Amino acid sequence: MAAKKKKKKERKEKGLQFYREMGLKAVVVTVLLAAALSYYVYNPMPDAIQEPWKLMAVDAAFRTGINLVREDAFSAFRGCKSPAGVVPGVKVSDITFAGVPVRVYEPPAGGEGHLRRGLLYLHGGGWAFGSGKMGAYDKVSRMISDELNTVVVSVEYRLFPEVLFPEPFLDCVAAAKHFLSPEVLDKYAIDPERVAVSGDSAGGNLAAAVAQEVATDDSVPVKFSVQALIYPVLQALDFNTPSYVQNRNMAILPRQVMVQFWLQYLGADISLQPQLIANNHSALQHSVLTPELRSRLDWTSLLSQKFKKSYKPVVAERDSHGLLKKIPGLLDARSSPLLAGPEVLAKCPRAYILTCEFDVLRDDGLMYARRLKDAGVAVTSDYYEDGFHGCLSFTSWPLDFDVGKRVLRNYMTWLQNNL
């Protein structure tokens, strides 16, 4: 009897020991997973960024998406759309303009007896992902259509890896010219004197390039009256501007990711990324980069001291890889609107250019604003000291930021007052 009790007690103690060991292992695994997750998510933020942990979480999700792009699996994100009826009364139609898919938003006020505004919008996403039908873009298009009595046309241009430069640009130009045709403007009761082109990030790049193309094409009788560029990417010859260096590891769009987007867009090998980050592609040996051409993106003369700070230009002596021959698109103003000559800029419509302090693209926008002004174009430069790349897309709970709400409201106010 005593022996049975002893064995029973031993089995109980062994069981308890087993559970204690399993519990300890579970705790260790949990701690390790939490540490790994924190390591993946944690990215030091500037003090001016509000709710830094929220931005870190968004950044971690975005980095995951970028990895999926490398595996050509971002299609799941492309299909993410907003539910219809976010703004009651706005009519939404998915059609084509000159063979290019577009989504048209018509305001509820109607056009009977009153001409309306028109806005061509080009979404961002590094020329590789995104859609005007996705949540934030769809929401903003509906708001603009409703509040500003505007017919908004959001262009679904083709993306990498399906196509490379210049195809996305050509899609946008085709849609723009169709939209600006007198027949289409008349169909939607749009005032031909009140038509804008706008876009953010890579879409801002396309919007600027389309604005230049339309402005200089005499076969297009109706021109855009304004262009609204939201943290646009405008050049690929200098990845060591003050904002590129200062924000090289910033959330959402670190320098290496922007360089990756450029290489993908221009059909180049991703392995060339370190060469471009070192500015070897714009080395002094390249005679095609004349002093006049270099002056078009010379941040030492185009930026104010507030933004130059103590940064120094990074200029390579030689390019041993022949990068400009391998990537001719680097010198094409259709991909890099900042390279356009003053004679082209002088014909462009008045502009609104939004830039953010914590964005590698800040100086692209600031330099373009300066060059447009020098060419005689009226420019509103809207700069946010606490802004970060992509903030316009974060205006709804739970991924809402105060700066995003301010950016959206000021953008819409400018359109209301200038379009």
- Closest by CA to 354, choosing from 302, 299, 408, 311, is 408
The pair phi, psi for residue 320, each rounded to 5°, is -80, -5
Longest CA pairwise span in the chain (Å) = 107
Catalytic: 75? no
- What is the spatial distance between Cα 115 and Cα 122, in angstroms, rounded to a whole number? 23
- Per the residue annotation, which of 145, 154, 201, 335 is the catalytic one? 201
Q: Copy the structure tokens of residue 244.
A: 């590129």
- Per the residue annotation, which of 359, 363, 364, 382 is the catalytic one? 359
- Closest by CA to 277, choosing from 324, 306, 243, 236, is 236
Eight-class DSSP state of 165: T
Q: Can you list the positions of beta strands (E) in 64-189?
A: 91-97, 100-106, 116-122, 150-155
Cα-based distances in Å from 314 to 289, 294, 332: 15, 13, 22
Is beta strand 379-388 parallel, antiparallel or unpaired with respect to 100-106?
Answer: unpaired
Sequence-distant (6+) residues with CB within 8 A of 43 are 56, 59, 60, 249, 251
Eight-class DSSP state of 83: P
Sequence-distant (6+) residues with CB within 8 A of 251 are 43, 45, 55, 56, 58, 59, 62, 358, 388
- Cβ atoms of 192 and 185 within 8 Å: the answer is yes
- What is the spatial distance between Cα 160 and Cα 264, in angstroms, rounded to a whole number? 7
- Give the H/E segment covering residue 307: helix 305-308
- What is the spatial distance between Cα 108 and Cα 231, in angstroms, rounded to a whole number? 30
Catalytic: 402? no
Q: Copy the structure tokens of residue 258.
A: 């922007």
- Per the residue annotation, which of 123, 178, 286, 389 is the catalytic one? 389
CA dihedral angle for residue 243, residue 245, residue 249, residue 250, rounded to 10 degrees: -10
Catalytic: 359? yes
Q: Copy the structure tokens of residue 270.
A: 């991703």
- What is the spatial distance between Cα 160 and Cα 28, in angstroms, rounded to a whole number? 42
Beta bridge partners, 226, equal 196, 350
Give the residue numbers marked as catalytic. Answer: 201, 359, 389
